[in-house]
């Protein structure tokens, strides 16, 4: 028997409500910022989007491996760069919910001016870069490295875009240059299930399971060059994805 969550009317409602609730959540961040301050408001309010939309979609989730990370990472004293594979539109909001400490994204500067959503991203402390100007982009990444050394955690999708076939894609080098410049550990993590729930070519979610697995940190100073760091992080994310499949 077909699940009622597969009813076309319900799926259409979820698409509309998902978009509307994103705007409402962003508005909630901006209002809460008056009382809590921008950063605290974002990381208090933004995770609520996942907590209300996932049950409506019939999505169950789990987060594993965080408790095995070094204490200085878990308590936020050691800034890190989180690197994750990218399966779905749901990855960014879910990881904001799943990572217990504040971690911001790097986004193109145009996002800052998007009504509500861009303003909420600014409140979070998102690092904006000018991708259309190489000199400004390089300068922005140097400033980003300084912010990371100063205590800001960053979350990067090294594939650069969502998978089109469910497989792990090739990794771009920019995030690894940033990690080497900042001199902070990289925490590999894997998101598993998002491709089946909401693939890149769809806006209509399906019921399913969404898992996040954290791996042990990779310290750039332990490797001879950028390519070795990239290979190690990619292999660890691949292993985490396989482990999630075995544990499912």
Helices H / strands E in the chain, number of each: 10, 7
194 assigned to some structural domain: yes
Q: Which helix (H) or strand (E) holds 48?
A: helix 47-57
45 assigned to some structural domain: no
Computed over every residue of the chain, the mean pLDDT equals 92
37 assigned to some structural domain: no
16 assigned to some structural domain: no
**pLDDT single digits (tens) 72-126:** 999 999 999 999 999 999 999 999 999 999 999 988 888 889 999 999 999 999 9
15 assigned to some structural domain: no
- The total of structural domains in the chain comes to 1
Which DSSP string do the residues of 1-65 spell out, in sequence order? ---GGG-HHHHHHHHHHHHHHHHHHHHHHHHHHHHH-HHHHHHHHTHHHHHHHHHHHTEEEEEES
The domain of 126 spans 60-247
122 assigned to some structural domain: yes
CATH number at residue 139: 3.40.1130.10
**pLDDT single digits (tens) 154-194:** 999 999 899 999 999 999 998 999 999 999 999 999 999 99
49 assigned to some structural domain: no
43 assigned to some structural domain: no
Which residue(s) pair with 63 in the sheet?
Answer: 212
């Amino acid at each position: 028997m077909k699940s009622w969550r597969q009813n076309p009317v319900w799926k259409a409602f979820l698409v509309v409500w998902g978009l509307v609730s994103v705007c409402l959540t962003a508005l909630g961040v901006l209002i809460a910022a008056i009382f809590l301050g921008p950063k605290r408001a974002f990381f208090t309010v933004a995770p609520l989007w996942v907590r209300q939309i996932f049950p409506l979609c019939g999505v169950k989730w789990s987060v594993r491996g965080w408790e095995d990370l070094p204490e200085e990472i878990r308590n936020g004293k050691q800034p890190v760069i989180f690197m994750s594979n990218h399966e779905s539109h749901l990855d960014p909001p879910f990881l904001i919910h799943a990572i217990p400490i504040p971690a911001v994204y790097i986004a193109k500067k145009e996002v800052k001016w998007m009504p509500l959503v861009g303003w909420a991203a600014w409140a979070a402390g998102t690092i904006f870069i000018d991708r259309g100007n190489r000199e400004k982009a390089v300068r922005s990444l140097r400033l980003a490295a300084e912010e990371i050394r100063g205590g800001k955690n960053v979350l990067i999708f090294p594939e650069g875009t969502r998978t089109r076939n469910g497989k792990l894609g090739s990794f771009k080098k920019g995030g690894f240059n940033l990690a080497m410049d900042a001199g902070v550990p990289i925490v590999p993590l894997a998101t598993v299930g998002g491709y089946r729930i909401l693939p890149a070519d769809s806006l209509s979610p399906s019921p399913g399971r969404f898992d996040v697995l954290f791996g042990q940190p990779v310290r750039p100073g332990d490797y001879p060059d950028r390519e070795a760091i990239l290979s190690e992080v990619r292999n660890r994310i691949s292993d985490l994805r396989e482990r999630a499949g075995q544990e499912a």
